[in-house]
């Protein structure tokens, strides 16, 4: 019984918190495709940004390529899907998105070497 419960839940106790994963519950949704990107820093009053991202499923991870169309900056990273979350590192950024029913990815990000953080939405291109 104990083996069955741990296999189904994949629960970990870490620092007093319980983290539950769905790794043993079945295949995750494939979110591969082209997305319109829109976001802003929540730590500054500067303008927001926009661009395009491509997500491509590659075995167990997603390869991600994004371009900020205003600045021309390019970002490359890798991510994973678990349940309704898509988490990735993208250049110097950690980004965690919630996967919405319509395929939109609503996320928050943090910069690795500064205090900057923000929010971002990836909208699937049809």
In a domain, 44, yes or no: yes
In a domain, 23, yes or no: no
Q: What angle do CA 119, 123, 124 make, to 5 degrees?
A: 150
User: Which CATH number belongs to the domain containing residue 103 in this structure?
Assistant: 2.40.128.120
Instruction: Say how many domains are in the chain.
Output: 1
Q: What is the mean pLDDT of residues 31-50?
A: 94
Find the domain containing 36 and state its range: 29-124
CA distance 62 to 35: 14
In a domain, 110, yes or no: yes
Whether 88 has a pLDDT exceeding 50, the answer reads: yes
Q: What is the pLDDT of residue 73?
A: 94
Q: What is the pLDDT of residue 27?
A: 60
Whether 11 has a pLDDT exceeding 80, the answer reads: no
In a domain, 6, yes or no: no
Q: What is the pTM of this model?
A: 0.77
Chain mean pLDDT for the chain: 83
Q: What is the mean pLDDT of residues 70-85?
A: 96
């Amino acid at each position: 019984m104990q083996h069955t419960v741990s296999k189904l839940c994949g629960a970990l106790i870490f620092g007093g918190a319980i983290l539950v994963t769905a790794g043993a519950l079945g295949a995750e949704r494939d979110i591969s495709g082209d997305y319109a990107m829109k976001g802003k820093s929540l730590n500054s009053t500067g303008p927001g940004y926009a661009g395009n991202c491509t997500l491509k499923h590659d075995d167990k991870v997603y390869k991600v390529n994004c371009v900020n169309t205003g600045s021309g900056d390019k970002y490359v990273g890798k991510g994973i899907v678990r349940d309704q979350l898509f988490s990735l590192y993208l250049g110097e950024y950690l980004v965690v998105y919630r996967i919405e029913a319509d395929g939109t990815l609503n996320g928050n990000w943090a910069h690795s070497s500064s205090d900057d953080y923000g929010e971002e939405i990836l909208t699937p291109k049809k």
